């Protein structure tokens, strides 16, 4: 069994996944647009460029997502994507880039359990926990 996060965006999936691929050194794989699908005729013109399905591979992990063509809520409450990074400076840089134009929930700092830990909501509305565990 494999558990894969699937994110819903309000029209920003392609931009978000391009950003995550660049930030984490990953690669965008499959990206299907509404305009190229059998359902294109049933979707309003302003949503033809929405992503119907996409994924980004980051190491051995995969993150999947799409744009919400039906409208309504896309924000997920109470779910965070957690990333543990071995290098403290790299963890701090990644946190800073995720938090830019977003919102810092918990500033990146040393804690009693980690050399660095921070929580932010990125500009796409995704909540992230970035941590660098304390050396043994």
pLDDT in tens, 54-113: 999 999 999 999 998 776 666 667 789 999 999 999 999 999 999 999 999 999 999 999
Residues 39 and 49 sit within 8 Å (Cβ to Cβ): no
Predicted TM-score (pTM) of the model is 0.91
Nearest Cα residue to 53 out of 68, 43, 38, 40: 68
State the CATH architecture for 6-67: Roll (3.10)
- Mean pLDDT over 15-30 rounds to 97
Tokens (6 digits) for 132: 């660098």
Can you tell me whether residue 26 is helix, strand or coil? coil
- Mean pLDDT in the chain? 92
Query: According to CATH, where is 3.10.180.10 located in the chain?
Result: 6-67, 81-133
CATH topology of domain 81-133: 2,3-Dihydroxybiphenyl 1,2-Dioxygenase; domain 1 (3.10.180)
Question: Encoding tokens for residue 46?
Answer: 């302003």
Residue 97 · residue 108 · CB < 8 Å: no
The Cα–Cα gap between 5 and 64 comes to 6
């Amino acid at each position: 069994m494999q558990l894969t996060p699937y994110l819903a965006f309000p029209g920003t999936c392609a931009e978000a996944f391009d950003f995550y691929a660049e930030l984490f050194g990953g690669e965008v794989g499959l990206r299907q647009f509404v305009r190229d699908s059998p359902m294109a005729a049933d979707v309003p013109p302003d949503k033809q460029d929405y992503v119907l399905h996409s994924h980004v591979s980051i190491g051995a992990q995969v993150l999947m997502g799409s744009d919400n063509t039906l409208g309504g809520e896309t924000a997920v409450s109470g779910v965070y994507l957690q990333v543990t990074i071995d290098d403290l400076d790299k963890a701090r840089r990644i946190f800073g880039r995720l938090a830019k134009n977003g919102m810092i929930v918990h500033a990146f700092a040393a804690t009693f359990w980690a050399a660095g830990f921070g929580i932010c909501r990125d500009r796409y509305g995704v909540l992230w926990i970035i941590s660098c565990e304390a050396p043994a």
